[in-house]
Structure 1
Amino acid sequence: MNKLATLLLIALVFYTTNFGAESKKEKKPTLVEGELKISIEDEAIEATLNITYVVKDSARASTSFWMDSAMEIQSVDGDLVKSYSFDQEAKPFATLTIDFKEALSEGEEIAFSFAYSGKPSQGFWIEEYQWVDIDPDFMILPVFSTLESFDYRIKAVVDDVNYKLIDVQKGKLTQEVEVTSVTTSYYINPILASNNQKNGVGLYDYSADGKEVRVFSEYADSARYVGDAALRIFDFFNSTFAREEPVTFCSVLYRPIPYDEHKVTRSFKPSVVFAKPHENIATLAHEISHFWWNRGDALTTEKWLTESFAQYSEMMFIRHEQGEDKFNMIIEKLADRAEKLPPLLGGDRFGRYGDDLIYEKGPYILYQLENRLGYEKFVDFMVAVNREQVATTPHLLEVLENQTSAKIRKEFEELIKR
């Protein structure tokens, strides 16, 4: 697995929706606009980005981006730009740092632009699969190293008429695409280009009871399997925790690159990039659940508010589809692992137990809460968490107390701290 894929699995955050009430308070977000030119013959890209940066912290004197170390920076321009540097050996990733002429206060804006080009170290699979993958996994597009939220609008064009761009967000094939995002910086919906005449990537449409799923795949049977599964997942989620905010459309890219080549599966409401074998519908359920579960600080174990809830939603769907016995087998494994882990909150998000806490201990704690409340009251609680756009654990505890009692809140808080 490549380094960024590992980071994304560790610091998984979703999706093209606002990150809760706190992000909605921002009057004006950072805006990234520009153009990305994809050259098939040269297997290279050229990019120009214009950024209206809104300072999130007081006394911010610089900002920085993670980028593919193979890129060459052509220019960095802006009235308040003092200097810039590109450290291709920086850890964990090559870093472009832009220094300002003076420290800026929270809420201030600064406009600057930069241009870069090169042959990316990953992303072009022309010979093997007639496929180009331009997304945050490979740092071809810059990623804010502070992982802050922003609006992202970029026009992508490809210089070979045999290649079509796959617009996963809108569910269509096109010659040019504008990629947009309102999310933390390493969750940009990807830009993908495919020579459909050679690899056979097609668009398949499935609908039932007012719901529609579009699947991009070179495999008709896989597309049908994934489409049918997604419709069932919608039925379950829309009738449980998503009943006040149902979703009736999504598109799924069933990635034709072999699984061992690119393992990251993720979602960008209303779309999913699905990289696992098509029969792994549990993972598909997890990713679709992120249309709703997309909150919590990505740099701390507060991210359990996204990943633990998505993981437990996946488990609820498994119980719904495959029965209590299968569900209980999963719970038994989680219980054994959870007992050996430190408290859920306050640990190192990127340390030894970071993933285990939010993908194992967190879901097990939610199971214990469901067991305490009963299924119906637990689902009511999940509905309320979405309604209130909960983005922190203290807020979660407030919602739980409002839905139940001070006693249950205290019991649950003890589980989190144990």
Structure 2
Amino acid sequence: MKTRTIAIIIALLQTIAAACQSESALYGHAMNFARQGCKDSLFYSLDRMVTLYGARDADLLPELLLEPRLRPYHSDSRWIQVKDRLRKARIEAASESPRPCQTDTATRLDNTPIVNSYDIDLTIDVAAKRIDVRADIDIDFRGNSHADLYLWRHTQLSRVAVNGQAARYEFAKDIEAPWIRPSGRLRIDAGTARGAARITTAYTCRLDSIPEDGFAACDSSLVMLTYYMGWYPIDIDHETSTANIDIHITPGFELTGSGIISRKADTWHMTQPWEGFDYTIIASPDLKQKTVSHNNRKIEVVSLGFPDADADSVAVRSAEIMDYYTRLYRLEPNGRQLRIFLFPAGGGGAYSRRNFIVCCCQRYNEWLYQLLAHEIGHFWWSSAPTDQWEDWLNESFAQYSSLCAIRQHLGSAVFDDYIEAYREWARTACPIRGLNRQANGAFYTFYHKGAVLLYDLQQRIGDKAFFDLMHHLATKRIGSQHDFEAETSRRLSHDDCLWIERRLNQ
């Protein structure tokens, strides 16, 4: 009896303390009460969060909807009251300050120079936080007088040549490319070349100012060179190049990356013979690796500072997700090999390329499962341009795929929570059609609003018709809105196509 009384007193004191806490502290208290089964204290904390932060934090309701620790309390009538109050607060706040929607006015040019391949010699000096690069670039100028490539801003160029002849160039460090930060524009004069040519560059990148929240690093524990930092001259208009890279790095580092890795003596080699645009190099003295073979697929998990048992879970679940999507879309993904790199870093997040996924994470949990399911979804949905609103054909489709995987893995009740949360995010999100991919809040549009559109389409036309459509879209690797509309017009009614069009504009 005394023990129970003490527990009640402690919970009461925590509740009183929670009344004057910050939002993050209130959230922490609420989760502790949920874990302890203290219903009254839990709902008191939630009530305080709604009162103090419901109108200020637009993400609070959807985040609570997706919080696994609150699911045992969804049948309590007070949970419905919390949701209703938060929903009202969100709607009122959105009506007072609607989100500005920046449309995409840029015109994609079809005749820009195109990089076909890279031959790179890369030396990484970890202690000096520096890389020295010689890059031979096979390019087609396609009749243009110059080519614009993008490179890490803190770069010192020592040579730029076209077909062996010194070339004029301008490195504008104040002109940055989307997604590649910090970067500068390297404009190379074509000289007499107007078609196929070879550009030769030599340069040094100083890596002592890498942003902490990005997919890049250079220190004694981790070297990470990716597209997002522009360590090689990047053609941002095309995604069809290949690469061969020789890598020299400080002794004691093991190496992995986005391509096929081999080693001869002190030189590592990475080849990427499939078409792409990102050449990721990862090295550390402490890399761990484990491989799972399943249904003629090879899943390789490379990790840094990640629990071994959790890495096993990642490998097994990833294989299950690939099997599920193969059945769902009646189509095998490109390739039968997948490499996943897991590392702890602030900010979280992930990205995928063909045969390769990078995840920032601390441990395996539901959040990571859904993240992996999204990135694996890109093996079916990745053909549309990523720098304009047609990226919804990549992101919305991969995100809805991940929700289907959630339903398969965790059940319909959890899936319904995700749909409800996504509807809340979609309620105040900008329209999909024409939205600038870099606009504030674009994430909510392309990931959440688009996923809800696909769910509602499935409810409208039925499971069979919906997944038949998805099968044909995936098989044809639909890469533009024009192609999407052509395929839907062949397989759906006129009214259904008009419905999709209205939803894209809402």
TM-score under structure 1 length normalisation: 0.81
The worse-fitting range, judged by mean Cα deviation, of 401-410 and 370-379 is: 401-410
* Mapping for residues 325-336 of structure 1, pairs under 5 Å: 325-336=413-424
Greater Cα offset, 154-163 or 372-381: 154-163
The one-letter code matched in structure 2 to 1:176 is W
Residues 23-54 of structure 1: per-residue CA shift (max 9 Å, x gap): 9xx9x962222211222343321111112212
CA distance in 1, matches of 2:192, 2:442: 36
Mapped to 1, the partners of 2:359 and 2:161 lie a distance apart of: 38
Contact 2:395 2:446 in 1 (8 A): yes
Secondary structure, in 3 states, of the residue corresponding to 2:328? Answer: coil
Amino acid in structure 1 at the alignment position of 2:409: E
| Contact 2:140–2:197 (8 Å) recurs in 1 | yes
Q: Does structure 1 conserve the Cα–Cα contact (< 8 Å) formed by 2:331 and 2:475? A: no
- Deviation, 1:316, is 0.7
Measured in 1, the distance between the counterparts of 2:411 and 2:262 equals 36
**Stretches of structure 1 lacking an aligned partner (at least 5 in a row):** 1-22
* Structure 1 Cα separation of the partners of residues 439 and 168 of structure 2: 33
C-alpha displacement of 1:168: 4.6
- In the alignment, which residue of structure 1 is the partner of 2:120? 34
Q: Distance in 2 between matches of 1:38 and 1:363?
A: 41
In the TM superposition, what is the alpha-carbon distance from 1:370 to its structure 2 partner?
Answer: 0.8
Task: State whether residues 397 and 413 of structure 1, in contact with CA within 8 Å, keep that contact through their aligned partners in structure 2.
Answer: no
- Offset at residue 354 of structure 1 (A): 2.5
Q: Which has the higher helix share?
A: 2
Once the 2 structures are TM-superposed, how far is the Cα of residue 124 of structure 1 from its aligned partner? 4.6
- 1:148 is aligned, of 238, 247, 250, to 238
Aligned twin of 1:215: 301
Tell me the SS of whatever aligns to 1:344: coil
Please give the secondary structure, in 1, of the residue aligned with 2:251: coil
**Pairing partner for 1:205 from 291, 305, 317:** 291
**Which of 101, 116, 119 lines up with 2:206 in the alignment?**
119
Q: 1:251 to 1:102 in 2, by over 3 A?
A: same
Is 1:352 aligned with 2:440? yes
The CA RMSD measured in Å over matched residues stands at 2.7
Residue matched to 2:386: 298
CA distance in 2, matches of 1:363, 1:348: 18
Structure 2 gap segments, 5+ residues each: 1-109, 178-182, 211-215
Query: Does 2:262 align with 1:176?
Result: no
* Cα pair 1:166 1:192 within 8 Å, conserved: yes
**Farther off after superposition, 287-296 or 166-175:** 166-175
**% identity of equivalent residues:** 19
* Match of residue 8 from structure 1: none
Q: Answer yes or no: is the 8 Å Cα contact 1:32–1:150 preserved in 2.
A: no
Secondary structure of the residue that 1:364 maps to in structure 2? helix
1:373 to 461, 483, 492: 461
Structure 1 residues 275-319: Cα deviation after superposition (integer angstroms, max 9, x where no partner): 224321100111111111112222210010111100110111111
Separation in structure 2 between the aligned mates of residue 247 and residue 33 of structure 1, nearest angstrom: 24
Looking at structure 2, the residues matched to 41 and 109 of structure 1 have their Cα atoms a distance apart, in angstroms, of 39
Instruction: Sort the Cα spacing of 1:171 and 1:99 in 2 relative to 1 into closer, same or farther, 3 A.
Output: closer
Identify the residue that residue 171 of structure 2 maps to in structure 1. 86
Counterpart-to-counterpart distance in 2, 1:310 and 1:114: 37
Q: Give the structure with the larger strand fraction.
A: 1
Aligned mates of 2:249, 2:441 — CA distance in 1: 45
Which of 272, 280, 284 matches 1:190?
Answer: 280
1:269 is displaced (CA, Å) by 1.7
The answer to whether the Cα contact below 8 Å between 2:162 and 2:191 also exists between their aligned partners in 1 is: no
CA displacement, residues 182-209 of structure 1 (integer Å, 9 cap, x when unaligned)? 5564xx14111221xxx2x221122334
How many equivalent pairs are there? 376
Q: Matched residues in 1 for 2:167 and 2:293: separation?
A: 54
Q: 1:157 aligns with which of 241, 247, 263?
A: 247
CA shift digits 1:336-365 (9 cap, x unpaired): 332333331112221224322211221111
| Residue 266 (structure 1) aligned with residue 351 (structure 2) | yes
Change in CA separation of 1:168 and 1:150 when aligned onto 2, cut-off 3 Å: closer
In the alignment, the residues of structure 2 paired with residue 119 and residue 179 of structure 1 have an alpha-carbon distance, to the nearest angstrom, of 25
Aligned-partner residue type, residue 219 of structure 2: I
**RCO comparison, higher one (Cα < 8 Å, 6+):** 1
Give, in whole Å, the separation in 2 of the partners of 1:168 and 1:53: 22
What residue identity is the alignment partner of 2:204? S
Task: Encode CA deviations 1:79-118: one digit per residue, 9 max, x unaligned.
Answer: 58751112233345322221233694xxx32322111013
